[in-house]
A and B are shown apart, each in its own frame.
Chain A
Amino acid sequence: MEYEIEEIKGYAIVHLKGDVDLSRSPFARKAILDCLQERKDVLVDLTAVTYIDSSGVASLVEGFQVSRRMSLDFALIGVSDAAMSVLQLARLDQVFPIFASLDARIAHTERRT
């Protein structure tokens, strides 16, 4: 299963969807890491995610860790309720930068600069 990737305003946006579980998380991991390997700032869109398990979260964690090592931007946008409850339960909302949308992310960056 391939996840859609689009480039908007300098960000590579990886659109995850459906159940991101043990069988599908390798595709999510590849999509995210491929973008980072191309030295792109990455936003992972979780709007259409209906379920995410620990292997799916691990894909996000790895993307987050790699982006830090490469000094690239990495954030989650449009996190669905199903995904948000998993992230909050494990306090991963303290780890990942989370924004409502691409515009929110850009506005946040502009405020900081």
Chain B
Amino acid sequence: MSLHTLARTKRQEDDTNKMTTNPVIETINPSELPIPPEGAFRIIHACNKENSDAHQLGRLLERDPVLTIEILRIANSAYFGFSGKITTVSRAVAVIGQRTLRHIVLCVAMRDALKPGQLPALSVETFWTNALRRAVCARALATETGLDVDTSFTVGLLQDFGLLVLFYLNPHRIAEWPGLAELAPDDRYAMERQLFDTTHDQVGQQLAESWNLPQELSLAMGFHHRHPTYEIEESSATYCHIAQCADWMSAVFSCTDKRHSLGNCHALLEKHFDLPRSETDRLLSQTNEQLTEAAQAFGFDIGEQVSYAAVIRQANMRLLEENQNIQEMNWQLENVLKERDRVAAELKQELDLAREVQRSLLPMDNADQLKVFGINLSAKAVSGDFYDFLKLHNGKVAFCIADVSGKGMHAALLMAKTSSLFHCLGKSLHDPAKLLTMINREIVETSIHGMFITMAAGVIDPETSEVMLCNAGHLPVLRMRQSQPVGEYPALSPPLGIMPETMFRNETFNLKEDSLYLYTDGLLEAKVTAQERQGKERLLTLFGKYANKQPVERLQFIVADLRQQSEEIEDDMTLLLIEGTM
């Protein structure tokens, strides 16, 4: 099985190969496609045979006088370097060789396959000018890298023939042609897909195979934009690279964005052929001269071409524009950042003020005298925790600790409301359960988003250490004797803010010389390590550790210890300490 057949078979087996699955390709009827003249066809096939000799080819060519004259004219052109020396077909075959002859015949056949009259609205000249430029670029690249120049030239000339066929099959799309011709190869390829639902390389390869063109040609026509979907010979892969590079070299002259094309051109020639920028520039600077010679040889009217110096100027102008755009964007970015900093500063100022207001809600009484001490650290600028204590007119002290569900500003606002209610109503309502019932009704009336407040509130008589305590959904209140826990008072009722009819219950006890620790879950859940949290056992040990310190100092040491273990506070931390007296 020949490699060509093998490749075809593999392609048929390859589900991902769009050649066989593309519905657009499958709908193309070969009889609708442009075909080369019959005489040219026979000669191409004869040239493909290894054993065909010069006489046989000569006889074939002589049957087509028009083609013969054209071949002799091209063979004698300056571009092929045999100026005026070849006078007969047999001589042409002998002097320029079957291989070169085959490529000349092929190029002429393809040139004539689609004549300008067949697509009146399409500028066929523009197409062939670009095709011929690709051809001379491919030939120059082959000369530079020691590859076959004739094959490379033909590859360059035919690689985009599929595009012409696509317009031939879709004449209603012809208005798109001028715009398409000015695009860089990658953008043009994407646009083709949008316009035709297929691309020129797929159509080109199918065409080449249906005409039985040499394998290196059909593969280069099929895979100069995408990687082959099956293994191909190294020499064929090289012609694919030649076609790809020639495409970008030609685009430097034809497309609008010259900086983009020039950049890609330098990168691709270095990648595939190890050519430094200076060598690529040298090849590009010779392109126009070679194009003019080739156009004369093949009888193309290419008109005036943009010089490489002009290309460089345009590319540099584009670079300058892009730099200016970048400077403009940098300037805009700087302004946005300044605005962001200004808004952030304003927001911080607002939060600092809110924090100050919130701080003012915490008690300022003489704590030593009342034997009640508190400390609060907020995870955010404002806190959802709070504590309060106040001296009542009967000499007793009312106190509370509370934690609003959630965090941040909305928790802080509810905290402010609740603490105000406690401070205001607590002055006249000395029964904690009744006080919480009142506060609860107020909160429930306006509660939103299911927010609730856990609160432990009480009243202590500093003279007798008698305590009346009401725990509404808050963590158990801890009783310590020196460094040892001796009891706790868990919640007997649900939190505030949930149901208006909630019944709150007091419990009374004498604190004697023990201490009560009321705390929020920020202390329990403070991180000890990245994975481990404080937990109740560790917290009890921590309380015991500083039991011999004076109350204010004790709170500071406990909080400092917690902060030492974890740099960032994830949750608000509030601790209230009540000291009993005998």
B407: Cβ under 8 A from any A Cβ: yes
A12, chain B: closest CB distance, angstroms: 18
Distance between Cα atoms of A93 and B499 in the complex (Å): 13
Number of interface residues of B (CB under 8 A): 25
B406 close to A91 (CB less than 8 A): no
A95 close to B450 (CB less than 8 A): no
Chain A's closest residue to B451 (CB) is A58
Binds B, one of A38-46, A59-67, A100-108: A59-67
- Could you mark each residue 444-478 of chain B with 1 if its beta carbon is under 8 Å from any beta carbon of chain A, else 0? 00010111101000000000000000001111100
Distance between Cα atoms of A91 and B474 in the complex (Å): 9
A95 in complex: contacting residue of B403, B405, B454, B499, CB < 8 Å: B499
A72: Cβ under 8 A from any B Cβ: no
A83: Cβ under 8 A from any B Cβ: no
B494 close to A92 (CB less than 8 A): yes
B405 close to A54 (CB less than 8 A): yes
A58 close to B494 (CB less than 8 A): no
A1: Cβ under 8 A from any B Cβ: no
B490: Cβ under 8 A from any A Cβ: yes
A22: Cβ under 8 A from any B Cβ: yes
B465, chain A: closest CB distance, angstroms: 27
B516: Cβ under 8 A from any A Cβ: no
B494 close to A94 (CB less than 8 A): yes
A91 close to B405 (CB less than 8 A): no
B493 close to A94 (CB less than 8 A): yes
B497, chain A: closest CB distance, angstroms: 8
B406 close to A22 (CB less than 8 A): yes
A91 close to B473 (CB less than 8 A): yes
B498 in complex: contacting residue of A29, A55, A59, A61, CB < 8 Å: A61
A90: Cβ under 8 A from any B Cβ: yes
- Could you mark each residue 125-147 of chain B with 1 if its beta carbon is under 8 Å from any beta carbon of chain A, else 0? 00000000000000000000000
B295: Cβ under 8 A from any A Cβ: no
A79: Cβ under 8 A from any B Cβ: no
Chain A residues near B491 (CB, 8 Å)?
89-91
Distance between Cα atoms of A62 and B448 in the complex (Å): 8
Chain A's closest residue to B452 (CB) is A61
A39, chain B: closest CB distance, angstroms: 19
Known A-B contacts A22-B407, A54-B403; the reply to A90 vs B449 at CB < 8 A is no
B454 close to A90 (CB less than 8 A): yes
Known A-B contacts A54-B403, A58-B406, A94-B493; the reply to A89 vs B450 at CB < 8 A is no
A25, chain B: closest CB distance, angstroms: 9
A60 close to B450 (CB less than 8 A): yes
B493 close to A58 (CB less than 8 A): no
Chain A residues near B454 (CB, 8 Å)?
90
Distance between Cα atoms of A113 and B268 in the complex (Å): 83
Distance between Cα atoms of A63 and B476 in the complex (Å): 26
B162: Cβ under 8 A from any A Cβ: no
A90 close to B473 (CB less than 8 A): yes
Chain B residues near A60 (CB, 8 Å)?
450
Distance between Cα atoms of A64 and B449 in the complex (Å): 11
Distance between Cα atoms of A91 and B491 in the complex (Å): 6
Known A-B contacts A22-B407, A65-B447, A65-B450; the reply to A89 vs B475 at CB < 8 A is yes
Chain B residues near A89 (CB, 8 Å)?
475-476, 490-491
B452 close to A58 (CB less than 8 A): yes
B492: Cβ under 8 A from any A Cβ: yes
B405 close to A55 (CB less than 8 A): yes
Chain A residues near B405 (CB, 8 Å)?
54-55, 57-58, 61
Chain B's closest residue to A66 (CB) is B450
Distance between Cα atoms of A63 and B499 in the complex (Å): 13
Chain A residues near B494 (CB, 8 Å)?
90-92, 94-95
Chain B residues near A63 (CB, 8 Å)?
450
Distance between Cα atoms of A62 and B451 in the complex (Å): 8
Distance between Cα atoms of A90 and B405 in the complex (Å): 12
A55 close to B475 (CB less than 8 A): no
B449 close to A62 (CB less than 8 A): yes
A61 in complex: contacting residue of B450, B476, B490, CB < 8 Å: B450
B495: Cβ under 8 A from any A Cβ: yes
Known A-B contacts A22-B406, A54-B403, A92-B473; the reply to A59 vs B495 at CB < 8 A is no
Distance between Cα atoms of A55 and B384 in the complex (Å): 12
Residues A45-85 near B (CB distance < 8 A): 54-55, 57-65
Chain A's closest residue to B476 (CB) is A89
B110, chain A: closest CB distance, angstroms: 59
B498 close to A95 (CB less than 8 A): yes
Chain A residues near B472 (CB, 8 Å)?
91
Chain A's closest residue to B448 (CB) is A62
Distance between Cα atoms of A64 and B405 in the complex (Å): 16
Chain B residues near A65 (CB, 8 Å)?
447, 450, 498
B87, chain A: closest CB distance, angstroms: 84
Most chain A Cβ neighbours within 10 Å, of B475, B476, B497, B498: B498
Chain B residues near A22 (CB, 8 Å)?
406-407
Distance between Cα atoms of A55 and B405 in the complex (Å): 6
Chain B residues near A54 (CB, 8 Å)?
403, 405-406, 452, 521
Distance between Cα atoms of A60 and B450 in the complex (Å): 7
A91 close to B407 (CB less than 8 A): no
A93, chain B: closest CB distance, angstroms: 9
Distance between Cα atoms of A65 and B497 in the complex (Å): 10
Chain B residues near A92 (CB, 8 Å)?
473, 494-495, 498
> Please, could you name 15 A-B residue pairs with CB atoms under 8 Å apart, sorted by A?
A22-B406, A54-B521, A57-B450, A58-B451, A61-B452, A62-B449, A65-B450, A89-B476, A89-B491, A90-B473, A90-B491, A90-B494, A91-B492, A94-B493, A95-B499
Further 12 A-B residue pairs, CB within 8 A, beyond A55-B406, A61-B450, A62-B450: A22-B406, A54-B403, A55-B407, A64-B498, A65-B450, A65-B498, A89-B490, A91-B473, A91-B495, A92-B495, A95-B498, A95-B499
Q: Which 8 A-B pairs have the closest CB atoms?
A: A62-B450, A61-B450, A54-B405, A90-B473, A58-B450, A58-B405, A91-B494, A91-B491
